[in-house]
């Protein structure tokens, strides 16, 4: 039973997953994965069968505790599990699946997704439907679960997950154990394997970890030198960082785009130039920890809640760090969008356009229009209330509109409707007088002219 029209072949509305326990044995030289998944499945509606997403890997054995007559079959997208008789809603089933194969990316309308070999290692980039390339799952964004991962692989490589791992050896092979207690969407689960140098990276009150090729040390240090101050600015703007740590991985390979994952970000060597040339991407991926990774979308049509907010965070950091103000950024991007086709509805852009740059920029402009209308104090109170009330949960556009109008007044409903529901690009509100000439002022660190970071050294 399909649950999201943007990804019609993913997920099953009859179930929710509470926990994934994954034992993965991976040989880098042959790209061979042998694995067992033990999945705690809660039945959401009475059913005698359900499906899990699994792509490119073959299930060998499936067991359902307490149901000896359970059976299974498999297509190119689904592992279908039959229970023999209807099971009532609320029942928790423990499903064990032995599976194996040579994992590879899956081809989608958004490009190749999932498990991908690098020249010497691997990365996993799953948004939105790549997770089934490495484990059977209910691959829809609203179904967050906890995880335990045990990864056995070749020695000499770092295995990087969203949290620190307990490391050991067994029969000459390296063993990495990860325990992820924060409810997490399947697309945000990741593993990165490579011959990485590792450093601790203090980020104010947040502990940071950095993994990178030694050959890129100077460039990595230069480009990430402001990450601690960026964390401080975002904590003041959005509320406390929502996870225990933040991990940054820089791969030796070039990547088309950076990747966000739970409590982590992955950049290609081409994104780290040593000259802060792509600093907006660093800000964007950090902001996703609040918007997307903690407060997740319940359905893909609301992707602007992830990408528009992360894009606006780029503008906040630009202003706080002595670059162009958020308003200057908004004016420039509004002018660019005005010259493009007006055929994207932000609150429902369609599957083909969900990662269109117009969604990102119009999403950011929507937030700026809200900020101009309600003023800085109320605007940032709305953002902090959003991240605290929805922490580690999911939300829809309607949820954000309801919160904003409750805080800023019922008249915001019409404003937000124009930006979210009409394809035509609305004009930006007038906002405070002389806003073009100076940063908007407010309680957030760096959002006044004298508080910007000193960039004169660059």
Q: Where are the domains of the chain?
A: 15-112+124-188, 196-289, 298-451
CB atoms within 10 A of CB 241: 23
Instruction: Report the alpha-carbon angle 409-410-416, nearest 5.
Output: 100
Place of tokens 């969604």: 359
pLDDT at 131 over 60: yes
- To the question of domain 298-451 being in CATH 3.40.50.300, the answer is no
pTM, two decimal places: 0.94
Reported as a pLDDT band with limits 50, 70 and 90, residue 73 is very high
- Tens digit of pLDDT for each residue in 269-281? 999 999 998 999 9
**Whole-number pLDDT of residue 430:** 87
For residues 37 and 96, the answer to whether their CB atoms sit within 8 Å is yes
Which whole number is the average pLDDT over 417-422? 98
Instruction: Respond yes or no: is residue 285 known to be catalytic.
Output: yes
Taking the C-alpha atoms of residue 428 and residue 90, their distance in angstroms, rounded to an integer, is: 48
Instruction: Respond yes or no: is residue 147 known to be catalytic.
Output: no
- To the question of domain 15-112+124-188 being in CATH 3.40.50.200, the answer is no
From 3.40.50.2300, 3.40.50.150, 3.40.50.1110, 3.30.2010.30, which CATH number describes the 196-289 domain? 3.30.2010.30
Query: Catalytic: which of 235, 285, 314, 319?
Result: 285
pLDDT at 433 over 90: no
Reported as a pLDDT band with limits 50, 70 and 90, residue 3 is confident
Which whole number is the average pLDDT over 296-319? 98
**Whole-number pLDDT of residue 1:** 57
**Whole-number pLDDT of residue 457:** 26
Binding positions are 284, 288, 307
**Whole-number pLDDT of residue 266:** 97
Q: What is the mean pLDDT of the chain?
A: 93
**Whole-number pLDDT of residue 444:** 55
- Tens digit of pLDDT for each residue in 192-238? 999 999 999 999 999 999 999 999 999 999 999 999 999 999 999 99
pLDDT at 175 over 90: yes
Reported as a pLDDT band with limits 50, 70 and 90, residue 351 is very high
- The tokens describing 403, both together, are 């919160």
pLDDT at 363 over 90: yes
Which whole number is the average pLDDT over 139-156? 97
Q: Which range (39-48, 203-212, 418-427, 428-437) has the least confidence?
A: 428-437
Binding positions for Zn(2+) are 284, 288, 307
Burial 217-237 (b: 16+ CB within 10 A, else e): eebbeebbebbebbbbbbbbb
Q: What is the C-alpha R_g of the chain?
A: 23
């Amino acid at each position: 039973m399909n649950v999201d029209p943007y990804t019609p072949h993913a997920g099953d509305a009859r179930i929710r997953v509470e926990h994934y326990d994954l034992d993965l044995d991976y040989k880098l030289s042959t790209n061979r994965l042998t694995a067992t998944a033990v999945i705690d499945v809660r039945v959401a509606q009475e059913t005698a069968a359900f499906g899990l997403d699994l792509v490119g890997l073959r299930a060998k054995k499936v067991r359902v505790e307490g149901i000896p007559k359970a059976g299974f079959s498999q297509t190119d997208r689904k592992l279908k599990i039959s229970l023999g008789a209807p099971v009532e809603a609320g029942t928790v089933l423990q499903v064990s699946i032995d599976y194996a194969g040579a994992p590879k990316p899956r081809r989608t309308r958004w490009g190749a997704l999932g498990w991908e070999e690098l020249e010497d290692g691997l990365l996993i980039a799953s948004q939105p439907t790549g997770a089934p390339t490495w484990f059977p799952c209910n691959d829809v964004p609203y179904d967050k679960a906890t995880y335990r991962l045990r990864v056995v692989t070749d020695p000499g490589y770092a295995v990087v997950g969203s949290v620190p791992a307990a490391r050991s050896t067994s029969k000459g092979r390296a063993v990495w154990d990860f325990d992820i207690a924060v409810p997490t969407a399947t697309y945000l689960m990741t593993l990165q394997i490579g011959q990485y140098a590792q450093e601790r990276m203090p980020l104010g009150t947040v502990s940071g970890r950095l993994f990178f090729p030694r050959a890129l040390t100077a460039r990595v240090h230069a480009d990430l030198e402001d990450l601690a101050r960026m964390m401080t600015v975002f904590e003041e703007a959005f509320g406390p960082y929502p996870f225990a740590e933040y991990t940054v991985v820089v791969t030796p390979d070039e990547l088309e785009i950076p990747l966000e994952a739970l409590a982590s970000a992955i950049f290609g060597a081409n994104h780290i130039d040593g000259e802060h040339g792509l600093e907006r991407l660093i800000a964007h991926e950090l902001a996703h920890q609040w918007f997307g990774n903690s407060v997740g979308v319940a359905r893909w049509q609301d992707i602007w809640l992830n990408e528009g907010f992360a894009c606006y965070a780029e503008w906040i950091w630009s202003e706080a760090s002595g670059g162009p103000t958020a308003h200057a950024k908004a004016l420039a991007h509004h002018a660019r969008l005005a010259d493009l086709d007006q055929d994207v509805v932000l609150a429902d852009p369609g599957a083909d356009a969900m990662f269109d740059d117009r969604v990102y920029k119009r999403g950011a402009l929507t937030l700026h229009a809200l900020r101009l209308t309600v003023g800085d104090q109320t605007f940032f109170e709305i953002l902090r209330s959003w991240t605290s009330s929805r922490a580690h949960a999911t939300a829809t556009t309607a949820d954000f509109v309801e919160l904003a109008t409750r805080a800023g007044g019922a008249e915001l409903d019409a404003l937000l409707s124009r930006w979210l529901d009409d394809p035509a690009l609305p004009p930006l509100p007038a906002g405070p007088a002389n806003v073009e000439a100076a940063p908007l002022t407010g309680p957030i660190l760096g959002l006044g002219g004298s508080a910007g970071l000193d960039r004169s050294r660059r």
